[in-house]
Amino acid sequence: MSDYTQQVLAQVKAKNPAEPEFHQAVQEILESLEIVLQKHPEYRSARILERMVEPERVIMFRVPWLDDQGEIHVNRGFRIQFNSAIGPYKGGLRFHPSVNLGILKFLGFEQIFKNSLTSLPMGGGKGGSDFDPKGKSDHEVMRFCQSFMTELFRHIGPDTDVPAGDIGVGGREIGYLFGQYKRLTREFTGVLTGKGINWGGSLVRPEATGYGVVYFTEEMLKSKGQSIAGKTVGVSGFGNVAWGAVRKVTQLGGKVVTLSGPDGFIYDKDGVKGEKIDYMLELRASANDRIKDYADKFKVEFHPGMRPWGVKVDVALPCATQNELDTNDAKSLLSNGCQCVCEGANMPTTLEGVKIFQEAGILYSPGKASNAGGVATSGLEMTQNSMRLPWSKEEVDQRLHQIMTNIHHTCVDTAQRFGVPGNYVVGANIAGFLKVANAMLDQGLV
């Protein structure tokens, strides 16, 4: 890194202590931007980097709620409104006990570049709470969501900030949040995405992130004259993103042999297909967070406390959470002949893990490029809400497919143009950055 980017990173660390995930996300971007900053001194003189790493606004609030026994609980709610240069803040809400300010800042920061890559007009944001949905009743989740929205509603709106789901926030939670927003504002608007189909949601949004990951994987493989058909694929996680990815891999003739949860991973040598894919939805809805149930039901191998990256696969799709694939995992995948790693989760590979893939010269794509199909389809939901006209499944899927193909092309093309062919990280980061940075220059010092 140059003296300048090192200095920016040092400032970020000093000003935001105890936020390692945020430092990690910023470091990756700064390393990628080196080439651009050399060619374009105007970004440095306008202090674009220093402005970009500082969220426009951070909202933190108390979320008190009553459990079914009448006990009072207090959680912390957050919304990071990171960057609105190219559109209203847009990004998911995460409900998980590990949530803190640093994790949401890393996610909000990544979202700026991801949303820019989609080519849709969306700024970057993220939010959530340290609420743990595990083992909570529907009523408890509803009361929590209502309390959360009772504060959040004044900070969001269809042209201001449009939240959606992420870990622990799916259709049920979006429903409760939307109901409370509508009650408080007396407005039926597209203020959230991932809504139900009967009340403004877009077809294909539930599948979109996973489908997008696989469309992107298919493009990567195509660049080497290959395809998913006939490939063995390792997936981690068993949530919304993993489910969509498994469905699409199977449709395209690939075979998914692993899934994972916080308790370990399963190895299904016959492939996760048919009713087994539907069962993933049941598992997720049970809020037990145990992948072992899959192994018990379908009589396949279960490996407690382990990650799935030691299994021999051609393609790996990490779809669970940040930093779930480290140096040792990267080495195991390579030694087993893995040729392509396409991220469904946000920042699932550590910085060192990424270097190992890049040095080995295999196909590797960062989440902000390959998982952008979720937020892109959220953008399509916003469009349909504004038009008050829903599109068919085919129309949405076709647009999603086109967007993923375009993002792939943009990454490859940008990497080539800046002299690092095949480097999807640099391609995605530079392309995402340029659009936002130029919008910031156009809009003056804000």
Q: Which residues are catalytic?
A: 126
CA–CA dist 161, 126 (Å, integer): 10
Residue 23 vs 37, nearer CB to ligand NDP: 23
**CB burial readout 225-234, b (16+ within 10 A) else e:** ebebeebbbb
Which secondary-structure segment (H or E) carries 329?
helix 327-335
- Tokens encoding 198: 């009967």
- Per-residue mark of binding to ligand 2IT, 325-364 (x: CB under 6 A): ---------------------x------------------
CB of 6 to ligand 2IT, least distance (A): 28
Range in contact with ligand NDP (rule: CB under 6 A) among 295-303, 318-326, 422-430, 435-443 = 318-326
Kindly state the smallest distance separating residue 45's Cβ from ligand 2IT, in Å: 32
Span from 57-65, 305-313, 370-378, 404-412 in contact with ligand 2IT (CB under 6 A): 370-378
Cβ-based nearer residue to ligand NDP, 9 or 233: 233
CA-closest candidate to residue 105, choices 236, 17, 7, 8: 17
Residue 129 φ/ψ, nearest 5 degrees = -160, 160
To ligand NDP, the closest distance from the beta carbon of 127 in angstroms equals 12
Sign of CA dihedral 280, 251, 227, 219: negative
Residues 288 and 132: their CA atoms lie apart, in Å, by: 11
- In one letter, which amino acid is 168? G
CB 107 within 8 A of CB 374: no
Can residue 239 be called a binding residue for ligand 2IT (CB under 6 A)?
Answer: no
User: Which listed range, 79-87, 231-239, 306-314, 408-416, lies at the site for ligand NDP (CB under 6 A)?
Assistant: 231-239
Residues numbered 184 to 223 that lie near ligand NDP (CB under 6 A) are 209
Q: What is the DSSP letter of 320?
A: S
Q: What count of Cα atoms within 13 Å lies in the side-chain half-sphere of residue 23? A: 14
**Structure tokens of 223?**
């660049």
* Phi, psi of 343, deg, nearest 5: -80, 130
Q: Which does 370 bind (CB under 5 to 8 A by kind): ligand NDP, ligand 2IT, none?
A: none
Residue 102 binds ligand NDP, judged by CB under 6 A: no
Tokens (6 digits) for 422: 């095949």
The CA distance from 226 to 228, in Å, is 7
365 binds ligand NDP (CB under 6 A): no
CB of 437 to ligand 2IT, least distance (A): 21
Could you say which of 77, 88, 92, 239 contacts ligand 2IT (CB under 6 A)?
92
Closer to ligand NDP by Cβ: residue 241 or 436: 241
- Could you say whether residue 166 binds ligand 2IT (CB under 6 A)? yes
Query: Rule CB under 6 A: is residue 240 a binding residue for ligand NDP?
Result: yes
Residue type, 413: D
Question: Which residue has the CB atom at the shortest distance from ligand 2IT?
Answer: 92
In the complex, minimum distance from the CB of residue 80 to ligand 2IT, in angstroms, rounded to a whole number: 13
Among ligand NDP, ligand 2IT, none, what binds residue 98 when CB lies within 5 to 8 Å by partner kind? ligand NDP
Residue 260 found at the interface with ligand 2IT (CB under 6 A): no
Q: Which amino acid is at 398?
A: Q
Least Å distance, CB 426 to ligand NDP, is: 21
Residue 281, CB-side half-sphere exposure with 13 Å CA sphere: 12
In this complex, which beta carbon is closest to ligand NDP, that of residue 48 or of residue 87?
Answer: 87
Hey, which residues between 109 and 128 contact ligand 2IT (CB under 6 A)? 114
Cα–Cα distances (Å) from 298 to 138, 268, 313, in that order, read 28, 9, 21
Residues 6 or more apart in contact with residue 115 via CB below 8 angstroms:
86, 87, 90, 91, 122, 123, 124, 372, 375, 379
- When CB distances to ligand NDP are compared, the closest residue is 239
Our CB check for ligand NDP shows the closer of 166 and 381 to be 166
Q: Which two tokens stand for residue 164?
A: 């959606």
Q: Does 193 bind ligand 2IT (CB under 6 A)?
A: yes
Q: Read off the tokens for 432.
A: 């995402």
DSSP designation for 391: P
Does 147 engage in binding with ligand NDP (CB under 6 A)?
no
* Binding pattern for the stretch 254-293 against ligand NDP, x by CB under 6 A and - elsewhere: -------xx---------------------x----x----
**Residue matched to tokens 């992107």:** 216
Distance spanning both ends of the chain, measured CA to CA: 27
- What does the binding site for ligand 2IT look like in residue numbers (CB under 6 A)? 90-92, 114, 164, 166, 193, 346, 374-375, 378
Instruction: Please report, as ranges, the residues that interact with ligand NDP according to CB under 6 A.
Output: 92, 96, 98, 165-168, 209, 237-241, 261-262, 284, 289, 319-321, 344-346, 371, 374
